[in-house]
Amino acid sequence: MVYLSNLCLLGMVVGMVGVASNPAPYFGALGLVVVAGAGCGVLICYGGTFLSLVLFLIYLGGMLVVFAYSAALAAEPYPEGWGDRSVIRYVLVYSLVVVTAGWWMHRGWCGDIRMVSDKNLVCRGDTSGVAWMYSSGGGMLFVSGLVLLLTLFVVLELTRGLNRGAIREV
């Protein structure tokens, strides 16, 4: 389990470097998917199965759709890919920063990763969270949906530019 947790943490770092180093939104979306999937894998390793499922579905189902739609509106004719020199330079610099920060912070740290296990298999913490979310948190779910809708309108307004966005004349 420790190896799987470390693999997911490595996937998060690689995805974050991919998002930070790539100026094209198309390839940045791939990095966001890798970060979301690896972060949910870390949550699963620590026992939060339902939380990771909800995070993955809400993040990829809500905000990534908005990101993909705004990237389609702000399309570049020739986006920079992973093999371009500037992107490779950014990847090397960011990777060096991450490795240096990890080495500096690892000094004096025991590095002992303890996995959380549920000993009470009848009532897990995340299943009671499901009941709490749907019973008392229904209003918050509705407000969250409205916030996602407002975010969609804000992103569309910001990316419309001079061409009037999605309702421009063709």
Mean pLDDT, the chain cut into blocks of 10 residues (170 residues total): 88 88 75 86 83 80 67 68 83 91 73 51 61 74 83 72 54
Q: What three-state secondary structure class fits 128?
A: helix
Please give the DSSP secondary-structure letter assigned to residue 161.
G
Phi and psi based region of residue 165 (left: phi greater than 0; alpha: psi -120 to 50; beta: remaining)? left
pLDDT of 7: 92
Please give the DSSP secondary-structure letter assigned to residue 24.
S
Instruction: Go through the domains of the chain in sequence order and give each one's CATH number.
Output: 2-167 (1.20.120.1200)
125/136 Cα distance (integer angstroms): 16
pTM, to two decimals:
0.62
pLDDT of 170: 47
> What type of residue sits at position 86?
S
The dihedral formed by the CA atoms of 1, 37, 124 and 129, expressed in degrees to the nearest 10: 160
What crossing angle do the helices spanning 25-45 and 49-58 adopt, rounded to 10°?
170
**Percent composition of the chain: helix, strand, coil (DSSP 3-state, to 5):** 75, 0, 25
CA-based angle 116:103:31, to the nearest 5? 70
11/25 Cα distance (integer angstroms): 19
> What type of residue sits at position 108?
G
